[in-house]
Amino acid sequence: MTTANTHQTQIVLDPDVPLVRIIREFDAPPEQVFSAHAEPELVVQWLAPRGYEIRIDHYDCRSGGSYRYVHIDDDNEYGFRGCFHEVRPSELIVQTFTFEGEPDGVALEKLVLEDIGGGRTRLVATSLVDSFEGRDAFVASGMEDGIRQIFERLDELLAG
Amino acid sequence: MPADALSRVFSALADPTRRDIVARLTDGDATVGELAEPYEMSIQAVSKHLRVLEDAGLVTRSRQAQRRPVHLEAEVFDLMTKWIERYRRRAEERYRRLDAVLRSMPDITEMPDITQPETGEES
C-alpha cells in the first residue's frame, strides 16, 4: 500500500453558478471512503476543523435520513444539520447542509466517489448555495479574521 | 459591497483562459494583441475576457499610452489567491485526517467476508 499522496486537494469555484467543488484522491477503495463518511464513529475522527471538537447528536446516513452535529471550542457550540437526500453506498451521498446560526441558508452537497483502480478513489464534493455572496461566505467560514482584513483591503483597492 | 467585489474576482479567475492571461501578466504588462497571440480566438474575444478582469479590479489599462498595455494589479490577485489557498489548505488538512482514518481501517478487499455462508467456490 502506498501512503505517498501525489494528489493534493483541488478547489474549483464555478463562474456561472454559486458552487464550490473539492477534488481529492485517496489511497483506499470507494467502500472505505464511503464508510468514513457514513459511519458516525469514523466521521468524528476527521470532520471537525482544527481547534474544534465535534459531538454528533445523530447521523443516519441513508436516503431519507438526517444528521445533526456541533463543533465545540472553548466558549461556544456551533450546530450544523441537514438531510440525506440520496445515499448509494460506495458511490454517492446527496445531502443538505445548514449552519444553525444562519437557519435560512442551505447548501446542497453532492459527494461522488469514483473507483480509479489500484484500490484508489477520487472524491468530488460539490456544494451549491443560493447566491454568489453565500458561496463566498461559505468558502470564508472559519477564517473570519483573515477574511475581514482581505475584504477591507480589497474594498480599498477596488475603490481606488 | 465587499462580497460582490469578491464574487467578481472569483468569477473572473474561475475561467481557464482568464487565469492564463493573469499568469502571463505576472511576467509584465502586455498589449491585447500580445495577449491574444497564443489563443485561437479573436482579439474581440480576448478583449471581452480582459473586460471581466478589469471589472473585477484584477487588471488595469493605461489611458495615456498609445499601446494601452494591460497591467496586472498584483495585490488584488495575491489577496484572492491567498484566500482560496487557505480554503484549500483547510480541506487538505481535513482530508489528511481522513487519510489516517482510512489507514487505520481494516483492508476490506483482503478480508474474508465472514457474513457470507461458506457455499461459494474458493478462489
Residue spans of the domains in chain B: they are 2-76
**Distance between CA B35 and CA B18 in Å, rounded?**
11
**pLDDT tens, residue by residue, B38-91:** 988 899 999 999 999 998 889 998 776 677 899 998 877 777 777 778 888 889
Mean pLDDT of chain B: 80
State the burial class of residue B6 (Cβ atoms within 10 Å of its Cβ: 0-12, 13-18, 19+). Answer: buried
pLDDT above 50 for B118? no
Question: Can you tell me whether residue B123 is helix, strand or coil?
Answer: coil
Contact assignment for A154 to B10 by CB distance below 8 Å:
no
**pLDDT tens, residue by residue, A22-56:** 999 999 999 999 999 999 999 999 998 778 899 99
pLDDT above 50 for B120? no
Q: What is the pLDDT of residue B96?
A: 94
Dig out the grid coordinates for A109 from the structure: 452537497
**Distance between CA B27 and CA B97 in Å, rounded?**
38
Domains and CATH numbers, chain A: 10-132 (3.30.530.20)
Q: What is the pLDDT of residue B48?
A: 95
Q: What is the pLDDT of residue B65?
A: 66
Contact assignment for B5 to A154 by CB distance below 8 Å:
yes
Contact assignment for A136 to B101 by CB distance below 8 Å:
no
In this prediction, the answer to ipTM > 0.85 reads no
Check residues A134 and B18 and name the one with the higher pLDDT.
Answer: B18
Strands A10-13 and B59-61: unpaired
| Long-range CB contacts (within 8 A, 24+) of A63-67 | A63/A87, A67/A95
**Distance between CA A90 and CA A61 in Å, rounded?**
12
CATH class of B2-76: mainly alpha
Contact assignment for A5 to B99 by CB distance below 8 Å:
yes
Q: Which residues of B touch A9 (CB under 8 A)?
A: 88, 91-92, 95
**Distance between CA B6 and CA A133 in Å, rounded?**
8
DSSP A24-86: EEESS-HHHHHHHHH-HHHHTTTSSPTT-EEEEEEE--STT-EEEEEEE-SS-EEEEEEEEEE
Cβ atoms < 10 Å from Cβ of A20 = 22
Burial letters for B37-50: b for 16+ Cβ neighbours within 10 Å, e otherwise? eeeeeeeeebeebb
Could you say which residues of chain A have pLDDT below 50?
A: 1-6, 143
Q: How many CB pairs under 8 A join A and B?
A: 125
Q: What is the pLDDT of residue A158?
A: 53
- From residue B60, alpha-carbon distances to A55, B2, B50 in Å are 49, 19, 9
